[in-house]
Structure 1
Amino acid sequence: MPSRILGHPEPAVPFLDPDDVRALVGDQTSGEETLDLRGASADDARIAIASILERRRSQAPATLVIRIDPATATSGETLFLPVGRQLLDARKRGLISRFHPLPGADGGGFYVELPGYPTAARGD
């Protein structure tokens, strides 16, 4: 059957329901911990993130959701860029395995995977 896009054939992989995808990759919109920074200043957010990353680095791997105020037409600058830059720096230093923005329907924020230390996972 011809595709509706540029005459290419339909892909061999059938459409996946969002629930099926969630079952395969996990729910990446909620974490084991939540850091709610809605209403926080940039300085308060920076300190809170640094604190939780330092606290969590000696523990087993975990997931974290950081919630920030979503952008609106009148919101001005949000915490998205400063928090994103801080998370990117933490990933470069090995404090974060990976992170990505939350879907728009979930409000503003980030889903973060923390690596922990191998000894923490074994309980040493």
Structure 2
Amino acid sequence: MPHFDDFYAAKLRGSLGVTDAESVLDLRGANKATAEASLKDMIERSRFAKGKTVAVRLDAPPEGGGETLFQPTGRLLLDAKRRGLVERLQTLPAQDGLGFYVALSGRAEKAAP
């Protein structure tokens, strides 16, 4: 079995993170309504542009537990994936904190006549 550096081994395993994304949507400190509006705007805008990758960063759970934006954000992104607007959706690796790595599909190319 060949030996890979941790950086390349992580890429082969699929643990893409903040440094691999073309842009970052930082929702840390945002409330649920603002986060939802930002995500919907990002997804809607992506329909008219070329596909790109985005790291969506979220707040960690508060001390002693509590609600985070992880579940509502995940549901919204999963729905976009089902509709074909997101090609790839995965959680960020532990060292990047809480969030998602998202590959947006972008504008569909028109078939040649």
Instruction: Name the CA shift for 1:16/1:45 in 2 (closer, same or farther; >3 Å).
Output: same
Q: Which runs of 5+ in 1 are unaligned?
A: 1-12
1:89 partnered with 2:58: no
Match of residue 7 from structure 2: 19
**Identity over aligned pairs, percent:** 41
* SS of residue paired to 1:66: strand
- TM norm structure 1: 0.76
Aligned residues: 108
Question: Rg: which structure is higher?
Answer: 1
Instruction: Name the CA shift for 1:93/1:118 in 2 (closer, same or farther; >3 Å).
Output: closer
* SS of residue paired to 1:35: strand
**Which deviates further from its counterpart, 21-30 or 65-74?**
21-30
What do the CA deviations read for 1:27-65 (whole angstroms, capped 9, x no partner)? 721211111100111111111000011111211111001
Instruction: Name the CA shift for 1:117/1:103 in 2 (closer, same or farther; >3 Å).
Output: same
* SS of residue paired to 1:81: helix
* SS of residue paired to 2:86: coil
Give the C-alpha shift of residue 104 in structure 1.
1.8
Q: Which runs of 5+ in 2 are unaligned?
A: none
Match of residue 48 from structure 2: 58
Instruction: Name the CA shift for 1:43/1:23 in 2 (closer, same or farther; >3 Å).
Output: closer
Instruction: Name the CA shift for 1:26/1:80 in 2 (closer, same or farther; >3 Å).
Output: closer
Give the C-alpha shift of residue 72 in structure 1.
4.2
